[in-house]
Structures are given as C-alpha cells and as structure tokens.
Amino acid sequence: MKLSDLTNSASEWLRGSGPLSEVVISSRIRLARNVNGFNFLSRCSRADRARLERRIRDTILEAAIADKTLYVDLAQAPDLDRQLLVERHLISKQHATNEGARGVAIGGGETISIMVNEEDHLRIQVLRSGLQLDEAWEQINAVDDKLEAQLDFAFSPRFGYLTACPTNVGTGIRVSVMLHLPALKLTGEIEKVFRAAKEMRLAVRGLYGEGTDATGDFYQISNQTTLGKTEDEIIGDFKHVVIPKIIEYEHHARRTLLNDRTIALDDKVHRAVGLLRSARLMTSEETLFLLSHLRMGINLGRIKNVDLKTVNELVLLTQPAHLQKHAGRKLEGDMRRAARAELIRQRLGVV
Amino acid sequence: MKCDNCNKPATVHLTEIKNGKKIEKHLCQECASTLEDFSPKGHLPINELLTNFVMAHSGLDKKGDTTAVCENCGISWEEFRKNGLLGCSADYQAFEQELSPLLQRAHEGATHHVGKTPLRRGASMPPVKHKTDLVRLRKELAKAVEKENYELAAKLRDQIKLAEEQD
C-alpha cells in the first residue's frame, strides 16, 4: 500500500454508512502510551528519539495489527503528504509540523492509525463511520494488547498509564464523536448543547480537533477526564447519555425546521445546491458551509438526486492537499479555488 | 510594499526554503488568510490551556512553591509548570505531592486509576519480595476505590506502604 493509494477515495470514517450517520459522522478512540526506559519526548535526546521510533515502528510492523499496514516516516515525507494525512484525520496538525524522528502506521482501511513520537511515544487511534464506539473500543483494545505484548508501557498502579501531559494520565483514553448539527445551529439552540457538554466535563471542538473552528456545523465532542473512571464507563457515558441526547435534540430541531419553517429550510438547501453547482471559485470554508446545508437537505428528504456518500467524499476531497494531489501539482490562490469549484461541479453532476 | 496577489499593502511576509531556493511572499491580511496549507500557529494546544486552567485553580500559583527536581530526567516542577508537559514517567513519583491536587482538578476529583492494566505490568515495576501480596493488595485497592469504599482503601494503602517498606 502506498500513500498515493489514499488520495482518490474517501476514508472509512467518511463512508456515511455507519449507525445514525444522519447525525453522527464518526466515532474515534485514541490511547496514549509511553515506553519504559525512554524519557517523554520533551526530554528525549535526538538519538533516543530516533532509537525509540525505530523500535516502535519495528514492533508495529511485526505485531501484524492489521492485514495491511503502511508506515510513513514523517521526518522524510514531503509537506503535501503530511498535510494529506492531517486532512484524512490520520495524524494531528501538531504531528505534521513537529520536528525530529516520528511517523505514523496506518492499517485496516484507515480505521487504525498509530502516531509514533507525537506528544506521547504512541498515540493509537481507531476511527469508524457513524456511531460505533463499542466496535472502536474492541478494535483498539486488541491493537493495544498486541503492542503491549512487545513493548513495556509506562504504568503505575496508582496513576495508570503514564503520559507526558497529566491531563491524559490513567486510561490515556480520548473518545471523540463527530456530529453534524446543522438544525441546532439554525434554530440557535447549539449553545445549549455546548453548555450541557461543559457541565459534563466534555470538550467541544471543530472538524480538525484542537483549536479549530466548527466550520460547516461539524462538531467533535470528547471526554476530558481520563483518571478514576474505567474505559467502559467513559465510553458508556457517551453511548448511553451524551450522544443519544444530542441526537434527539438535533432530530427535534430538524423536525421543527421541516414543519414550521419549510420554505426557509428549502431556500437554504437549494441556495447551497445552486452555488455548489454553479460557482467557479470556492474557498474551503464556503464549501463546508454549503455542503453542510446540502447534507441536511438530503437527510431531510428535500434533495433526492444526491447521496450522502458524495457529500462526505466532497468534504474530504475539496481540502487543499487532496486537491493538489489530485491535480498532481501545486495549486495556490484562485487556481486552487477554481479546481475546488470544478471538482464539486463534476461530482454533483452538473456543469 | 504591495501584496503579491492584489494591490493592498502587504502586512504578512513569508519566507520558505524549497530545494535550496529561498521563496519570499508578501501578502495582505486577506490574501494571507486564504493560504490554507499551514496556517500560522495561532492556537494554543489544548493541554497547555488545560494545565494553565488547572494550575490557576489549584492554588499552585502561590508563592512558597516546591523546588522539587526529578532525579531521572532533571526536570524541575517549575519547568513543568511552564510548558505543561512532564519529562519522564518517574516524574509522577518525584512530583506526586505537587501533582495530586492538579490531577484531582483535571479529573473530577479522581486520585487513582481504575481502568485497564497491562498484562505484562509486573515487568515495569521495581522488584519486590512480597510481589504476589503487593499485586493482590493493589488490585483490592483499585476495587475498593472503584466502589468508593474509602475506609477499606485507606487500610489497603497502609498495608501496601508497609509491604513496600519491608522490601
């Protein structure tokens, strides 16, 4: 498997076919792990860092975490490749821009990614389409077991898995669910969700995680507490309490729009379609905003000749690195915006 | 100087080295904001924010702070406070006292791990004579904490301490 094989299709998590995919885009779980005998990365010498990277890479490749595993050496990879991996949610922005020996292992149709030498020695991630937290946990737990059989993870009985940042210590788990909440945004009730999330000690972020805005009404909700609760409890909170409640709110808001504000809703949706099908220059921000409205239109049965998969693919493929990989050359400014607009018109089937 | 893309005054100046060639860009705010490749690092990492927040609320900002230093990696508590990242796994022991209030703040009052335990966990522990005893006691402690039976937990903790000292 090569990196270039990834460019032309959507990642597994964007298939748009998982359970409750009309609201839940994806379920993600990550585990932070460190290897005994090496300092955390802020205090790791260059030589140790390189040694650690080789050791973890060899272990991952030998442990057969998936049928096919691709390992990318990020210190050697070109900028564009690293950006591509960020856009596919396989590495963090921080991991792309960091320096020194580091990499990422990708397997299982992009459901598994293991960042090596990010903030912690290992950041294991499983990303799945729709609401699939149990499946994600089962998968990541098995990967963790396989790696743990070969690597001596830093662990203390009192504090659990030891991490570079004390906010991750204990289980080292972060559960994130990405939601599409256009109706709550339109009805102005999204603030309520934020407040409730805050009360439950959950973080709300944008499409690309830390420090990003919620463009196109896509929100990531994740836990902050990692100590004093079991993995099952943390996942259970999401599965039984948080997510069903938010889905219910969003459905309610969608019904309200559909019943009481039908014309305004149709106007929004068809304006989005009109622009997407005719514009010649598109920024990524406007694209996400419009695709969000189109997605809502499809989910509410207002648009029938476009499927969800097409919209999800466009969310991914209209991003800068994907556009440039697709074109096979560097695109900047208006060139890039023109290429984006063209791709959208092609995929939506009207010129 | 004018923006490379339009005629507005350039306020953002970028230098990029590519294949040994230096490329300079001069852009106005508006054009610069549309450069999507690698936007400037304007965002604070969330852990830094969290740590700052937790520090500010845990009374650790006050004077009379500890001068503790980790013998293994050499990081001082002061340094940790500045960037929010620990230097090695031994820091959790070296700064146990200082970290405890911070952890409680960050984790809804929790003080002990109750989740997954590595199967090979014995390997990473210091060797102890009463190993089986200790392992059993620690398991019981984790269970007691999980069930919020703090009276039992306190007793178990004392027993563990004793066992460790005898070692």
Cβ within 8 Å of residue A215, ≥6 positions away: A206, A207, A285, A288, A289
Confidence (pLDDT) at A247: 95
Q: What percent of chain B has pLDDT over 90?
A: 25
Q: Look up residue A51 and give its amino acid.
A: R
Residues in chain B with CB shorter than 8 Å from the CB of A34 are 89
Residue A14 and residue A65 in one domain: yes
* Predicted TM-score (pTM) of this structure: 0.78
Instruction: Answer whether residue B44 shows pLDDT above 80.
Output: no
Q: Look up residue A284 and give its amino acid.
A: S
Asked if residue A245 belongs to a domain, the reply is: no
Residue A203 and residue A293 in one domain: no
Confidence (pLDDT) at B83: 87
Confidence (pLDDT) at B126: 43
Among B74, B83, B113, whose Cβ lies nearest the Cβ of A160? B113
Residue A175 and residue A314 in one domain: no
Tens place of pLDDT for every residue, chain A, 351 residues? 566 666 666 677 677 777 888 999 999 999 999 999 999 999 999 999 999 999 999 999 999 888 889 999 999 999 999 999 999 999 999 999 999 999 999 998 899 999 999 999 999 999 999 999 999 999 999 999 999 999 999 999 999 999 999 999 999 999 999 999 999 999 989 888 888 888 888 998 877 655 555 577 999 999 999 999 999 999 999 999 899 999 999 999 999 999 999 999 999 999 999 999 999 999 998 999 999 999 999 999 999 999 888 998 899 999 999 999 999 999 999 999 999 999 999 999 864
User: Which CATH number is A310's domain given?
Assistant: 1.20.120
Residue A60 and residue A202 in one domain: yes
Instruction: Answer whether residue B72 shows pLDDT above 80.
Output: yes
Among B86, B123, B138, whose Cβ lies nearest the Cβ of A166? B86
Residue A65 and residue A211 in one domain: yes
User: Of A208-217, A265-274, B99-108, B150-159, which gets the smallest average pLDDT?
Assistant: A208-217
Asked if residue A247 belongs to a domain, the reply is: no
Asked if residue A248 belongs to a domain, the reply is: no
Asked if residue A84 belongs to a domain, the reply is: yes
Give tens-digit pLDDT for A52-78: 999 999 999 999 888 889 999 999 999
Asked if residue A251 belongs to a domain, the reply is: no
The residue among A48, A97, A144, A158 with the most chain B CBs within 10 A of its CB, best to mutate, is A158
- What total number of domains does chain A contain? 2
Among A43, A162, A228, whose Cβ lies nearest the Cβ of B92? A162
Residues in chain B with CB shorter than 8 Å from the CB of A173 are 115
Confidence (pLDDT) at B53: 61
Residues in chain B with CB shorter than 8 Å from the CB of A119 are 47, 85
CA nearest A228: which of A166, A304, A162, A160?
A: A160
Q: CB A154 to CB B124 under 8 A?
A: yes
Residue A220 and residue A272 in one domain: no
Confidence (pLDDT) at A209: 57
Residue A192 and residue A307 in one domain: no
Final residue belonging to a domain, choices A204, A227, A250: A227
Asked if residue A249 belongs to a domain, the reply is: no
Asked if residue A214 belongs to a domain, the reply is: yes
Average pLDDT, chain B: 73
Instruction: Answer whether residue B24 shows pLDDT above 80.
Output: no
Residue A163 and residue A106 in one domain: yes
Q: CB B124 to CB A225 under 8 A?
A: no
| CA distances for A237 relative to A137, A184, A200, B11, B101, angstroms | 14, 22, 10, 48, 25
Q: Look up residue A230 and give its amino acid.
A: T
Asked if residue A16 belongs to a domain, the reply is: yes
Confidence (pLDDT) at B57: 55
Q: Is A315 or B61 the better-scoring residue by pLDDT? A: A315
Token pair for B66: 């500890």
Residue A50 and residue A125 in one domain: yes
CA nearest A60: which of A114, A102, A96?
A: A114
ipTM: 0.87
Closest residue of A to B46, CA-based?
A: A210
Q: The domain containing residue A270 runs over which residues?
A: 262-347
